[in-house]
Amino acid sequence: MDREEIMARINEIARDVFDNDTVVLTDDTTAADVDEWDSLTHLLFTNEIEDAFGVTFTLAEVTKSENVGQLVDALTRHLGA
């Protein structure tokens, strides 16, 4: 799975979790850019990504990723891609 496919899947998850069909995530997107992205939905978001890709993030990856790009980096590391 390349980064583009991962990004597409993550966008699907984001639209579901944030309950907003207009959300478009790029590497530079941060929580501040999405109204529905708060501390609680952040956890739902990372949890759903874990389930969808069959990985487990470390605590630091969950709490310290500053933008979507860093989260995708962490994900690709876990996927061994």
Residue 13 near residue 48 (C-beta atoms within 8 A): yes
Size of the site for other proteins (CB under 8 A): 15
> 3-class SS at 65?
coil
Site for other proteins in 15-74 (CB under 8 A): 16, 19, 39-40, 43-44, 47-48, 51, 56-59, 62-63
**Minimum separation from the CB atom of position 59 to other proteins (A):** 5
Whether the Cβ atoms of residue 57 and residue 78 lie closer than 8 Å to each other: yes
Token representation of residue 45: 């978001």
- Inter-residue contact 78 to 61 (CB < 8 Å): no
Asked if 71 and 46 touch (Cβ cutoff 8 Å), the reply is yes
CB of 41 to other proteins, least distance (A): 10
**What is the closest distance, in whole angstroms, from the C-beta atom of residue 43 to other proteins in the complex?**
5
Contact set with other proteins (CB under 8 A) = 16, 19, 39-40, 43-44, 47-48, 51, 56-59, 62-63
